[in-house]
Amino acid sequence: GAGVSQSPSNKVTEKGKDVELRCDPISGHTALYWYRQSLGQGLEFLIYFQGNSAPDKSGLPSDRFSAERTGGSVSTLTIQRTQQEDSAVYLCASSQLTGTLVEQYFGPGTRLTVT
Amino acid sequence: QKEVEQNSGPLSVPEGAIASLNCTYSDRVSQSFFWYRQYSGKSPELIMSIYSNGDKEDGRFTAQLNKASQYVSLLIRDSQPSDSATYLCAVRINDYKLSFGAGTTVTVRA
């Protein structure tokens, strides 16, 4: 079946502009995660959505970052007034929250470059 | 103390040898453990999951879990150049969240 999809694959924007990144999870997966991976760095958790529950926003680095998930499926991560330090790969993952394992599957990512 | 620790490497092994990667974690109640492979410029790909003590084998990969010692390892047998990648260890820390290690870079020499 289809995996997690993300768009755009690459985004170059000027400092101060707003950007929107999109994630379409695996069909039937109720949990959706956003991560950030800076060059040569590990995965940084940003936000988690599960059904109609309140999202876990504990990883969002500043109030310039926000995310929403409409209809329990597609999610959009918005970064307002982008800064050069926002340059990174933004990864989306989805999961079924059943059983012990809770395996997360990643999309291909969006490479964001802020000039 | 970091939740999940891995040796950053690089780990260089000759083709056909066994690559051994180790990961330790701090939360004794963690229940599920994962290994992801990440090629340069690509996203992480799940290659192994384990939650019971002992060994779990899948093709050339074997995951080993020891909850008493709080470590999980990954063995790659008959290493191939295509195994050259960064391997991320991940530990489930609550109902839904994973904590990731920084990754071990593996280079397989032809």
| Residue A80: predicted pLDDT | 98
Q: Which residues of A68-86 are buried (b: 16+ CB within 10 A; e: fewer)?
A: ebeeeeebebebeebeeeb
Is the pLDDT at B1 greater than 90? The verdict is no
Interface with chain B: mutation pick from A32, A37, A47, A104, highest number of B CBs within 10 Å: A104
Contact A31 B96 (CB under 8 A): yes
Mean pLDDT of B58-87: 97
CA angle, B53 then B59 then B63, to 5°: 25
Can you tell me the distance from the alpha carbon of A3 to that of A38, in angstroms, rounded to the nearest whole number? 23
Contact B95 A103 (CB under 8 A): no
| Residue A12: predicted pLDDT | 98
| Residue A68: predicted pLDDT | 96
Cβ of residue B91 closer than 8 Å to a chain A Cβ: no
Pairing between β-strand A88-95 and β-strand A105-106 as defined by DSSP bridges: antiparallel
Contact A103 B49 (CB under 8 A): yes
The SS3 of residue A49 is strand
Cβ of residue A109 closer than 8 Å to a chain B Cβ: yes
Is the pLDDT at B55 greater than 70? The verdict is yes
Contact B97 A45 (CB under 8 A): yes
Cβ of residue A49 closer than 8 Å to a chain B Cβ: no
pLDDT in tens, chain A (115 residues): 689 999 999 999 999 999 999 999 999 899 999 999 998 788 999 999 998 889 999 999 999 999 999 887 999 999 999 999 999 999 999 998 777 778 999 999 999 999 9
| Residue B22: predicted pLDDT | 97
The SS3 of residue A30 is coil
The distance of B28 to chain A (nearest Cα, Å) reads: 16
Can you tell me the distance from the alpha carbon of A100 to that of B92, in angstroms, rounded to the nearest whole number? 9
pLDDT digits (tens, 9 = 90+) for B24-38: 999 888 889 999 999
Among candidate residues B92, B43, B2, the one with its CA nearest the CA of residue A93? B43
Cβ of residue A43 closer than 8 Å to a chain B Cβ: yes
Which residue in the set A41, A100, A109 is minimally distant from B32, CB to CB?
A: A100
Cβ of residue B32 closer than 8 Å to a chain A Cβ: yes
Interface with chain B: mutation pick from A43, A46, A97, highest number of B CBs within 10 Å: A43
Is the pLDDT at B52 greater than 90? The verdict is yes
